[in-house]
């Protein structure tokens, strides 16, 4: 696990991250069986480093990061382990050795509590019980089908289509290509001779300017035209060595072995290239500001979206985000020409090129260098140098503007930055500027004064809310004196049933406490009316909880009034909408209490 994390793998619900999560969770569960109650597993990293750190220095360099990643996963799993084990114990309580746990129960453990099915199998095996694996697989397939139904293309064409002939990509420098050959047409994953108007399908060409989805960049869009029809390309992907074009026949028909002309939508490509190049500058800026421990965990780049995921334990401060944003925009303003070189992988790594963990690279790689050169540790280095086969701007200045719009955590040790470039960034800034101007006008303040003015108003509002709460408590205390006279006897028990005006839930608790100090061995039921809402509260002296429970009283009232509530035997509360039913429900409450107490 330590080596996986050192190499950039983190616990997740997909791929290698899911394998790592399963190993950790199995280990934690066995530690739990051996009596470990607190987090323990991450503490084993230190002796591992002591034993193997000399041979594997990356363990020493990343020890703190590895410990943090394992501890976070431990803590997260500990929260669900106890609940999951209770559910499993409940399911197994009615089974004996030789019985079978239903696939539905095993799937619920997996889906709700994160129990991998092999972990559930470990536990059941210890009791001589097996799992209905076919039933589990059926539930899993249902879930996968739901996920597929949410997408436009139900068929996984990339897996279904097998093309021996590789497609030549000619799109780095151009948006169109003429006289290409259609070498395959597919519909519903099956090869066909023709696609007609309105048909959804896939076209495979011998060469194409369309960039296939990869490296975080989405597939391109455009048109494929033949003498007999027009095909709208809505997405482009890879299938082995072939590039496949998903889309719909917009006009006429297309046939296998026809020649065609292709055209990529230029505006979409230009916007996508700006966003893709910006992710490289962002990655470099993150490492400069947050340290070399930052590594890319994924990205999504389209004409409208720039999303970058990276490894980092804490939320990035606003100050650091501002610095990162400034560094990227400095490189944009420098307007340095993008350099593209092809070399073998060892040369690229020697030059300091960053590679994305998990990506497969051939012997010859495409190295992208961006940004102004600077002196670092006495060596001249470019701002960004990475292995990348994607589409990029010719000069950093083509990006125009870079604006971070959000930063958030998406998994343990993984953060996400979303940003805009070019005209999208400008529109965002203009909208924010317009909102700030409107706010300043409303507050009758200068723009630099807006934040202080809003803070002052928020502080004032909190003071007023506290004052309102104090006044409500005074009102409640004033009413308490008169309520004592309304105590009645029901089934030989002292009972106070009352409606109080202008009291919300918070004030109700104070009023109940006040009444309890005045009335011993009493059942107290109060309904507060404030606007269109009712606050319900009940208190039962501990000497009487064997006869009736406060939670039962509130559940009865809430059910009758169309609300909800509950609580402990000696105190419970709830709420309901105010309605004409209140008078009749309150009138019948003594009779109901009589039936419960008799």
Cβ contacts of 31 within 8 Å, gap of 6 or more: 40, 41
Compute the distance between CA of residue 439 and CA of residue 59 in angstroms, rounded to an integer: 52
- Give the confidence band of 135 by pLDDT, cuts at 50, 70, 90: confident
Judgement on whether residues 88 and 186 belong to the same structural domain of the protein: no
The DSSP H or E segment spanning 142 is: helix 133-149
Is 448 a domain residue?
A: no
To 10 degrees, the CA torsion angle through 100, 103, 107, 113? -20
Name the residue among 64, 68, 73 with its Cα closest to residue 17.
73
Judgement on whether residues 305 and 382 belong to the same structural domain of the protein: yes
Q: How far is CA 436 from CA 383, 386, 420, in A?
A: 34, 39, 19
Classified as helix, coil or strand, 81 is helix
**Total number of domains in the chain:** 4
Q: Is the pTM of this model over 0.85?
A: no
Judgement on whether residues 231 and 142 belong to the same structural domain of the protein: no
- Name residue 310's beta-bridge partners: 296, 415
Judgement on whether residues 128 and 180 belong to the same structural domain of the protein: no
Judgement on whether residues 201 and 64 belong to the same structural domain of the protein: no
- In the chain, the percentage of residues whose pLDDT exceeds 90 is 49
Question: Is 556 annotated as a binding-site member?
Answer: no
Judgement on whether residues 410 and 485 belong to the same structural domain of the protein: no
Residue finishing a domain among 241, 264, 287: 264
Residue length, the chain?
598
- Give the confidence band of 538 by pLDDT, cuts at 50, 70, 90: very high
Cβ contacts of 530 within 8 Å, gap of 6 or more: 501, 502, 503, 504
Name the residue among 8, 6, 21 with its Cα closest to residue 76.
21
- Reading the block at residue 105, the tokens are 């129960």
Confidence at residue 353, expressed as pLDDT on a 0 to 100 scale = 81
Question: How confident is the model over 375-420, as pLDDT tens digits?
Answer: 776 677 889 999 988 999 999 999 999 999 999 988 778 899 999 9
Residue 193: domain span: 168-264
Residue finishing a domain among 264, 296, 324: 264
Q: What are φ and ψ of residue 173, in 5° steps?
A: -110, -10
Confidence at residue 155, expressed as pLDDT on a 0 to 100 scale = 46
Question: Is 392 annotated as a binding-site member?
Answer: yes
Question: Is 283 annotated as a binding-site member?
Answer: no
CATH number of residue 289's parent domain: 3.30.980.10
Q: What is the mean pLDDT of residues 91-108?
A: 84
Question: How confident is the model over 246-305, as pLDDT tens digits?
Answer: 999 999 999 999 999 999 999 999 999 999 999 999 999 999 999 988 888 888 999 888
Judgement on whether residues 217 and 88 belong to the same structural domain of the protein: no
Q: What is the mean pLDDT of residues 514-534?
A: 86
Q: What are φ and ψ of residue 493, in 5° steps?
A: -115, 140
pLDDT value at 152 more than 80: no
CATH number of residue 199's parent domain: 2.40.30.130
Confidence at residue 158, expressed as pLDDT on a 0 to 100 scale = 57
Is 19 a domain residue?
A: yes
Question: Is 276 annotated as a binding-site member?
Answer: yes
Judgement on whether residues 277 and 416 belong to the same structural domain of the protein: yes
Name the residue among 525, 544, 531 with its Cα closest to residue 590.
525
Judgement on whether residues 478 and 560 belong to the same structural domain of the protein: yes
Question: How confident is the model over 176-199, as pLDDT tens digits?
Answer: 999 999 999 999 888 999 999 999
Is 159 a domain residue?
A: no
Compute the distance between CA of residue 513 and CA of residue 110 in angstroms, rounded to an integer: 45
Question: How confident is the model over 46-71, as pLDDT tens digits?
Answer: 999 999 999 988 899 888 888 988 98
pLDDT value at 159 more than 70: no
Judgement on whether residues 250 and 302 belong to the same structural domain of the protein: no
Angle between helices 450-483 and 422-443 (to 10 degrees): 60
Judgement on whether residues 402 and 510 belong to the same structural domain of the protein: no
- Reading the block at residue 419, the tokens are 């940003």
Question: How confident is the model over 218-243, as pLDDT tens digits?
Answer: 999 999 999 999 999 999 999 888 99
* Neighbour tally for 130: CB within 10 Å: 13
Residue finishing a domain among 364, 394, 429: 429
Judgement on whether residues 80 and 186 belong to the same structural domain of the protein: no
To 10 degrees, the CA torsion angle through 594, 595, 597, 598? 100
């Amino acid at each position: 696990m330590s080596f996986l994390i050192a190499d950039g793998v983190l616990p997740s619900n997909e791929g290698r991250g899911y394998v790592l999560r399963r190993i950790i969770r199995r280990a934690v569960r066995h530690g739990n069986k051996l009596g470990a109650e607190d987090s323990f597993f991450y503490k084993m990293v230190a002796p591992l480093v002591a034993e193997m750190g000399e041979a594997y220095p990356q363990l020493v360099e990343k020890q703190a990061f590895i410990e943090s990643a394992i501890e976070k996963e431990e803590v997260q799993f500990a929260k669900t382990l106890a609940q999951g084990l209770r559910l499993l114990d409940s399911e197994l309580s009615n089974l004996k050795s030789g019985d079978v746990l239903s696939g539905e129960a095993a799937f619920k453990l997996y889906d709700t509590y994160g129990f991998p099915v092999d972990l559930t199998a470990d536990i059941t095996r210890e009791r001589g019980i097996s799992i209905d694996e076919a039933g589990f697989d059926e539930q899993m397939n249902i879930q996968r089908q739901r996920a597929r139904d949410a997408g436009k293309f139900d068929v996984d064409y990339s897996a279904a289509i097998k093309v021996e002939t590789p497609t030549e990509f000619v799109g780095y420098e151009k948006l169109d290509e003429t006289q290409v050959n259609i070498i395959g047409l597919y519909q519903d994953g099956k090869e066909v001779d023709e696609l007609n108007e309105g048909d959804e399908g896939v076209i495979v060409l011998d060469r194409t300017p369309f960039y296939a989805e990869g490296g975080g960049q989405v597939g391109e869009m455009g048109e494929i035209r033949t003498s007999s029809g027009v095909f709208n390309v809505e997405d482009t992907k890879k299938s082995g060595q072939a590039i496949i074009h998903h889309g719909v026949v917009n006009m006429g028909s297309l046939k296998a072995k026809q020649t065609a002309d292709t055209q990529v939508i230029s505006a979409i490509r230009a916007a996508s290239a700006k966003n893709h190049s910006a992710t490289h500058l962002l990655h470099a800026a993150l490492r400069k500001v947050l340290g070399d421990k930052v590594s890319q965990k994924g990205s999504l780049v389209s004409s409208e979206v720039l999303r970058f995921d990276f490894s980092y334990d804490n939320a990035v401060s606003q100050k650091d985000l501002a610095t990162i944003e400034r560094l990227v925009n400095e490189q944009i303003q420098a307007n340095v020409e993008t350099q593209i070189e092809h070399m073998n992988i060892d040369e690229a790594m020697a030059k300091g090129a960053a590679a994305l963990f998990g990506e497969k690279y051939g012997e010859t790689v495409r190295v992208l260098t961006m940004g102004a050169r600077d002196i670092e540790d006495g060596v001249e280095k470019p701002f960004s140098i990475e292995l990348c086969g994607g589409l990029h701007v010719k000069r950093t200045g083509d990006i125009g503007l870079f604006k971070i719009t959000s930063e958030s955590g998406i998994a343990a040790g993984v953060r996400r930055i979303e940003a805009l470039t070019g005209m999208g960034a400008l529109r965002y800034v203009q909208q924010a500027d317009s909102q700030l101007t409107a706010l300043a006008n409303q507050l009758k303040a200068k723009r630099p004064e807006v934040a202080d003015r809003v803070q002052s108003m928020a502080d004032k509002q909190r003071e007023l809310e506290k004052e309102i709460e104090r006044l409500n408590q005074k009102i409640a205390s004033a009413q308490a004196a008169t309520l004592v006279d309304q105590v009645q006897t029901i089934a030989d028990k002292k009972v106070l049933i009352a409606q109080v005006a202008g009291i919300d839930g918070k004030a109700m608790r104070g009023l109940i406490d006040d009444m309890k100090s005045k009335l011993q061995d009493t059942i107290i039921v109060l309904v507060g009316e404030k606007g269109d809402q009712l606050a319900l509260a009940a208190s039962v002296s501990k000497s009487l909880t064997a006869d009736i429970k406060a939670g039962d009283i509130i559940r009865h009232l809430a059910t009758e009034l169309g609300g909800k509530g509950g609580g402990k035997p000696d105190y419970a509360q709830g709420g309901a909408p105010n309605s004409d039913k209140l008078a009749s429900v309150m009138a019948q409450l003594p009779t109901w209490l009589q039936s419960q107490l008799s």
